């Protein structure tokens, strides 16, 4: 018989369990904690937790535990449960009242059985076969439906063989055991339902984020891959820093909530790109807008060649009465020379348009000379410069394919990102998302944008994302305007960025020392990009010896 002291102790234990269940985030651990708590509070030797399947047609085995047989299946054990779900109806459509777990779910009633071998109305043939195979004796059963706040059954908790604390023998589950199990099942159902609702809301929220990234991807397939890869690399580096136990980053740590917050920030770090014009995002050449205007320039060159040929023919007509063969030959030579120059200038502008190499002052001067030196008749029949002012500006871009104005348009995406994120009513555990996501274009020396923050003004997470953003951009192989750089090339650039105050020096050392770059490369880079890296030659890198000195 339960003593008053034992009941009070178990009630206190029930309260502690309820509080613990409300804090658990992982569904598998939550289910496991529910079953283990029910076993402990009722002194049960074993138990099974079932969950209702979609459509409420079956009960699925989730967790099985038995102390005497040392059985641990499902949940965090990693051992699958080999039994099929229990159907709530037979093949003929009748209620499956012969299975005690199904009966409890169908009728929403607790079933307390003193001895399964003596029980009437239920089919325990499977239990008997199990006992014969294992040598176990399944005796007392307590089966409790788990009902949520809408009074709907979401699962069943089944306990086996209550062990008397004094005699250590199997005993029936007492009325107190049943009340405690029912109370625990009610708390557990609420905790499980809340966890499922939170999980569904998180999934819905992440789906909306993916929706934004899909919209960006539809605008530009190049940025879509970037939005996918940066969060992965961010988490890789953050985990490496989290595992660092020496040096200036030794105190950095992350909880599961911190990880989720950083993950969300990574997914949203470029959401402002939905505001960026497509022809700027995807500008593969200097003259590209909605189309590559180099083809218009090509057409003008053809017009120049046609005009030169017409001028030569007219000059020959003027000489026809003089029969000056030498003069006609000179006209032919001049035409050939002129056409060669036109072709050379056309090929030069084609190469300049690609933007793959830095434009020297001499090359920029040649663009200007071509643009103003040639004249052509425009569509209005007026003599005009060969290149417009806008074409001259674009073709004279010193590096890359973007003008200063277009760079400002591209850079504005981070301002738009911050504006968008700061307008959202973030819950407490996600309140840092705008800061993490909005800081990946800042520099440690305060020369970044949009806020010009210094290292001391930024979180470690924002600085981590800055490195991830740059490294992904350097190695990306899906950009229309450049090839993906190799690991050694990218690390050399990052090393120089460390030396000139662009990126966090301590994070960069962890990035190299923990070989985060290689883990990322093996997942996302082409094999030819993964070259041999001599870490001793990386500019500014403080190697393993420096790390050992910091311990």
Q: What is the pLDDT of residues 245-281, one digit of tens each?
A: 988 999 999 999 999 999 999 999 988 888 888 778 7
Average predicted confidence (pLDDT) for the chain: 88
Pick the closest to residue 373 from 402, 348, 401, 336 (CA basis).
348
Task: Name the architecture of domain 220-280+408-549.
Answer: Orthogonal Bundle (1.10)
The dihedral built from the CA positions of residue 508, 509, 514 and 518, taken in this order, carries a sign that is: positive
pLDDT computed for residue 340 by the predictor: 94
Task: Tell me the pLDDT tens digit for each residue of 40-96.
Answer: 889 999 999 999 988 888 999 999 999 999 999 998 888 999 999 999 998 888 999
CA–CA separation, 192 and 102 (whole Å): 20
Other CB atoms within 10 Å distance of the CB of residue 55: 7
Confidence (pLDDT) at 486: 94
Residue listed under structure tokens 């929220």: 205
Give the per-residue pLDDT at 548: 44
440-477 pLDDT per residue, tens: 999 999 999 899 999 999 999 999 999 999 999 999 88
Residue numbers in the chain where pLDDT is lower than 50: 548-551
The pLDDT value recorded for residue 480 is 60
Q: Tell me, what's the pLDDT at 222? A: 62
> pTM here?
0.69
| Cβ contact 421:437 at 8 Å | yes
Q: Give dist(CA 267, CA 265) in Å, integer.
A: 5
pLDDT for residue 329: 86
Q: What's the rounded Cα separation, in Å, for the pair 34 and 158?
A: 11
Strand stretches in 148-241, DSSP E: 153-163, 170-171
> Helix 221-242 vs helix 256-268: angle between axes, to the nearest 10 degrees?
160
- 4-197 maps to which CATH number? 3.30.450.40
Which parts of 43-174 fold into alpha helices (H)? Answer: 100-107, 125-134
């Amino acid at each position: 018989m339960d003593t008053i002291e034992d009941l009070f102790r178990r009630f206190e234990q029930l309260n502690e369990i309820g509080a613990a269940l409300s804090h658990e985030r992982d569904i598998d651990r939550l289910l496991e904690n529910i079953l283990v708590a029910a076993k402990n509070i009722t002194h049960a030797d074993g138990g099974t937790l079932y969950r209702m399947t979609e459509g409420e047609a079956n009960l699925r085995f989730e967790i099985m535990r038995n102390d005497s047989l040392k059985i641990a299946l499902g949940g965090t054990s990693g051992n699958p449960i080999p039994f099929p779900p229990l159907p709530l109806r037979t093949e003929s459509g009748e209620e499956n009242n012969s299975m005690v777990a199904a009966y409890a779910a169908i009728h929403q009633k607790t079933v307390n059985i003193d001895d399964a071998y003596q029980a009437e109305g239920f089919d325990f043939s499977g239990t008997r076969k199990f006992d014969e195979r294992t040598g176990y004796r399944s005796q007392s059963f307590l089966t409790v439906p788990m009902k949520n706040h809408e009074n709907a059954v979401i699962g069943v908790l089944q306990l086996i063989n209550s062990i008397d604390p004094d005699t250590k023998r199997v005993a029936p589950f007492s009325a107190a055991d049943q009340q405690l199990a029912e109370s625990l099942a009610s708390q557990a159902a609420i905790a499980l339902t809340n966890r499922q609702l939170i999980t569904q809301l998180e999934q819905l929220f992440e789906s909306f984020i993916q929706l934004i990234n899909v919209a960006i991807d539809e605008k530009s397939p190049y940025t879509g891959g970037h939005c996918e890869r940066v969060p992965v690399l961010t988490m890789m580096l953050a985990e490496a820093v989290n595992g660092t136990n020496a040096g200036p980053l030794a105190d950095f740590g992350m909880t599961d909530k911190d990880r989720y917050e950083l993950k969300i920030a990574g997914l949203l770090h470029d959401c402002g790109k939905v505001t960026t014009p497509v022809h700027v995002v995807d500008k593969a050449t200097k003259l590209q807008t909605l189309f590559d205007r180099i083809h218009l320039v090509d057409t003008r060159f053809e017009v120049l060649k046609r005009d030169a040929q017409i001028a030569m023919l007219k000059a020959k007509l003027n000489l026809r009465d003089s029969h000056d063969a030498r003069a006609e030959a000179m006209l032919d030579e001049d035409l050939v020379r002129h056409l060669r120059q036109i072709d050379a200038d056309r090929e030069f502008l084609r190469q300049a348009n690609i933007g793959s190499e830095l434009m020297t002052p001499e090359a920029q001067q040649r663009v200007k000379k071509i643009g103003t030196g040639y004249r052509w008749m425009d569509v209005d029949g007026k003599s005009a410069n060969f290149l417009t002012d806008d074409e001259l500006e674009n073709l004279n871009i010193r590096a890359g394919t973007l003008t200063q104005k277009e760079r400002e348009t591209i850079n504005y995406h981070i301002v738009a990102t911050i504006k968008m994120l700061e307008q959202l009513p973030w819950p407490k555990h996600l309140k840092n998302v705008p800061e993490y996501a909005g800081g990946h274009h800042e520099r440690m020396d305060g020369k970044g944008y949009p806020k010009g923050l210094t290292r001391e003004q930024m979180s470690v997470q924002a600085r981590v994302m800055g490195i991830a953003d740059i490294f992904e951009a350097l190695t990306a192989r899906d950009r229309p305007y450049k090839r993906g750089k190799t690991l050694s090339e990218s690390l050399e650039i990052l090393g120089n960025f460390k030396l000139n105050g662009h990126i966090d020096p301590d994070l960069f050392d962890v990035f190299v020392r923990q070989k985060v770059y290689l883990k990322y490369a093996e997942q996302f880079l082409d094999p030819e990009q993964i070259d041999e890296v001599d870490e001793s030659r990386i500019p500014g890198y403080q190697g393993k010896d420096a790390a050992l000195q910091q311990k």
